[in-house]
């Protein structure tokens, strides 16, 4: 974005408070705005407010020494927070950016449980079981409701059902389609899962408005392999406008081709000649 960072920080901070904090506490899935087991949420919020306040000012003398030595935990939390609101990552409040916070917060939560257990011993096992049970329920419910399973993606267009990955790899391998073009969310997982036998560089947009960033291109050797390939294919995911655009461009270029669909993957292959994305005004000239 061209907006100066100084003007983006308030929005990133608000994004962290409204979207990031609920993810960190586990009261909503990272990929959607949906509350998990709503009646229990006040108890979860109350627990974590108490844990944070206890970490700031310990009320238990025996734990005070431990808390005072937890400066490193606070540094991890601070770096993660500032890294989110002071970089472009603040525009994407998905859960993966907050994972470094979970280890320090787990320790802080454990110290708070020890503090509460000083008053009533059974809390030493009741609270951990309650928290673990709540998060287990949230995970199971999310897997059941989300057809793509657990995901890190907040933007729906980036959610791909990876249950079909092996079928995709088998098809591409059988058809000798080792090189081609796709989007960011397909290219690198495909290279990893196929042990780099299938190299598809991220030259295609995945947003419905065809937005694209050259930052998706991250490995020059892949670019060179695909550029030198005589047989290429295109793989899109959940993008009907792009599929139609490719068909139109193929027709206007006088090409013949085949199509095959596997799960969320739409494959265009057996083109009568290789046609590159830039020839179709896709991607960005570097």
172 pLDDT more than 60: yes
Helices (H), 158-264: 165-174, 184-193, 220-227, 240-252
Q: What is the pLDDT of residue 97?
A: 85
Tokens read off for 9: 């920080």
136 phi and psi angles, rounded to 5 deg: -65, -45
CA atoms of 90 and 82, how far apart (whole Å): 9
CA atoms of 16 and 123, how far apart (whole Å): 31
Q: Are 88 and 12 in contact (CB under 8 A)?
A: no
pLDDT tens per residue, range 212-233? 777 788 888 999 999 999 999 9
Tokens read off for 166: 């092996």
User: CA angle, 163 as apex, 166 and 250 as ends, to 5°?
Assistant: 70
Q: Which carries the bigger pLDDT value, residue 79 or residue 145?
A: 79
Burial 265-275 (b: 16+ CB within 10 A, else e): bbbbbebeebb
Which three-class secondary structure state does DSSP give residue 191? helix
Q: Which carries the bigger pLDDT value, residue 210 or residue 283?
A: 210
Q: What is the pLDDT of residue 61?
A: 62
Binning pLDDT at 50, 70 and 90, where does residue 99 land? confident
pLDDT tens per residue, range 17-62? 988 899 999 999 887 888 999 999 999 999 999 998 888 776 666 5
249 pLDDT more than 90: yes
Q: What is the pLDDT of residue 142?
A: 82
What is the DSSP secondary-structure string of 89-139?
GGG---GGGGHHHHHHHHHHHHHHHHHHHTT-TTHHHHHHHHHHHHHHHHH
Tokens read off for 269: 């292959």
CA atoms of 48 and 40, how far apart (whole Å): 13
Q: Which carries the bigger pLDDT value, residue 97 or residue 170?
A: 170
pLDDT tens per residue, range 63-81? 565 666 667 788 888 999 9
Distances (CA, A) of 241 to 101, 205, 247: 39, 11, 10
Lowest mean pLDDT among 185-194, 205-214, 253-262, 271-280: 205-214
Q: What is the pLDDT of residue 234?
A: 98
Sorted by sequence, the CB contacts under 8 Å of residue 279 that are 6+ apart come out as 249, 253
CA atoms of 178 and 201, how far apart (whole Å): 11
Q: Are 200 and 183 in contact (CB under 8 A)?
A: no
CA atoms of 105 and 88, how far apart (whole Å): 24
Mean pLDDT of 147-175: 84
Mean pLDDT of 227-250: 95
Q: Above pLDDT 90, what percent of the chain?
A: 52
Average pLDDT, the chain: 87
Q: What is the pLDDT of residue 39?
A: 94
pTM for this structure? 0.71
Mean pLDDT of 189-214: 91
286 pLDDT more than 60: no
CA atoms of 101 and 105, how far apart (whole Å): 6
243 pLDDT more than 60: yes
238 pLDDT more than 80: yes
């Amino acid at each position: 974005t061209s907006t100066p960072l100084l003007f983006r920080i308030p929005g990133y901070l608000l994004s962290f408070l409204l979207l990031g904090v609920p993810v960190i506490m586990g009261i909503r899935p990272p990929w959607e705005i949906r509350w998990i087991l709503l009646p229990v949420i006040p108890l979860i919020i109350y627990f974590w407010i108490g844990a944070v306040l206890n970490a700031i000012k310990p009320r238990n003398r025996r734990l005070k020494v431990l808390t005072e030595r937890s400066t490193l935990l606070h540094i991890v939390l601070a770096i993660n927070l500032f890294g989110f609101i002071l970089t472009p990552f603040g525009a994407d409040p998905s859960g993966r950016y907050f994972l470094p916070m979970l280890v320090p917060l787990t320790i802080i939560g454990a110290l708070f449980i020890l503090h509460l257990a000083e008053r009533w011993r059974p809390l030493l096992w009741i609270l951990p079981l309650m928290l673990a049970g709540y998060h287990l329920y949230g995970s199971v419910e999310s897997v059941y409701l989300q057809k793509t399973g657990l995901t890190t993606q907040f933007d729906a267009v980036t959610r791909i059902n990876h249950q079909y990955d092996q079928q995709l790899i088998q098809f591409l391998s059988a058809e000798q389609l080792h090189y081609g073009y796709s989007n960011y969310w397909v290219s690198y997982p495909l290279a990893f899962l196929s042990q780099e036998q299938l190299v598809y560089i991220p030259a295609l947009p995945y947003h419905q408005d065809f937005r694209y960033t050259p930052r998706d291109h991250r490995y020059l050797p892949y670019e060179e392999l695909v550029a030198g390939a005589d047989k290429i294919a295109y793989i899109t995911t959940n993008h009907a406008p792009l599929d139609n655009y490719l068909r139109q461009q193929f027709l206007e270029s006088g090409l013949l081709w085949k199509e095959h669909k596997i799960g969320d993957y739409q494959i265009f292959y057996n083109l009568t000649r290789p046609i590159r994305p830039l020839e179709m005004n896709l991607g960005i000239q570097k």
